[in-house]
Amino acid sequence: MGEVVVHALRGVDLDLFAGELVVLLGASGSGKSTLLNILGGLDTATKGEVSYCGQSLTNARDRELTRYRRDHVGFVFQFYNLIPSLTARENVAVVTEIAANPMRPEDALGLVGLQERLNHFPAQMSGGEQQRVAIARAIAKNPKVLLCDEPTGALDSKTGTVVLDALVRANKELGTTTAIITHNAGIAAIADRVILLGDGRITDIHHNAHPLKPAEVSW
């Protein structure tokens, strides 16, 4: 930024494993969103190595990163990014029409408990329902990796629990490696592994021997 150098991440060394549910926990400015964007091929690290299943992403070109995001990664953001003029089914179909091995939009929406809302538009749904449509859209292409950026950040605790239930269910039933970034320490209890970040560094990593169900989480 002009003459100012901002080190968003510093010496991060991390492996994510197939099928696990990871929570990346840290305050605003800790570097967790930057890390998630690098893992998802949205940003490119200025130094270091990034690889996915033996494939280097470090010097990948835009076309290669686009293919990686399209074929392997699902994204869920804090603000749902739904297309307001499309129904829930149509919002999911936008992704399934370009995916290599997609689910039926109806099946993806059923997995997050929205089988009765297929033909509703975003404006006809609550915030939690819109977020679940966004999750259905992300998982409908059967991604190997699901990256979630503050998926409950705009929701109250009751609605957030429903959204977390949808993410946990997708992780368990589809075997998708799932990484959730949050500043809410309570959410960490649902994870197989919790990675704490501060000032662009990993400050601690611990495992949950017995992850809690979302309904058991104290917000």
Render pLDDT for 51-83 as a digit per residue (tens, 0 to 9).
999 889 998 999 999 999 999 999 998 888 999
**Contact between 90 and 143 (Cβ < 8 Å):** no
Is 16 inside any structural domain?
Answer: no
Confidence of residue 217 (pLDDT cuts 50, 70, 90): confident
In a domain, 209, yes or no: yes
Under DSSP, is residue 156 helix (H, G, I), strand (E, B) or coil? coil
Q: In the predicted model, what is the mean pLDDT of the chain?
A: 92
Q: Is 58 within the bounds of a domain?
A: yes
- 67 within some domain: yes
In a domain, 188, yes or no: yes
Enumerate residues 6+ apart whose C-beta is below 8 A from 217: 161, 164, 186, 187, 189, 190
Residue 14 is assigned to a structural domain of this protein: no
- Mean pLDDT across 11-40: 93
- Taking the C-alpha atoms of residue 50 and residue 31, their distance in angstroms, rounded to an integer, is 16
CA distance 130 to 86: 12
pLDDT in tens, 102-159: 999 999 999 899 999 999 999 999 999 999 999 999 999 999 999 999 998 888 888 8
| Distance (Å) of CA 122 to CA 2, 4, 117, 159, 176 | 40, 41, 10, 16, 26
Which tokens hold the place of 12?
């991060």
Nearest to 91 by CA among 69, 72, 114: 114
User: Structural domain of residue 124, as residue ranges?
Assistant: 21-216
Confidence of residue 218 (pLDDT cuts 50, 70, 90): confident
Count of other CB atoms within 10 angstroms of residue 185: 14
Structurally, the chain folds into a number of domains equal to 1
Asked whether residue 6 is assigned to any structural domain, the reply reads: no
The answer to whether 83 and 95 are in contact (CB under 8 A) is no
Give the pLDDT confidence score for residue 219 in this predicted structure: 74
CATH number at residue 81: 3.40.50.300
Residue 155: what pLDDT?
A: 84
- Whether 121 is covered by a domain: the verdict is yes
For the question of whether the overall pTM of this predicted structure is more than 0.85, the answer is yes
In the prediction, which pLDDT does 136 show?
94
Do 182 and 150 contact (CB within 8 A), yes or no?
Answer: yes
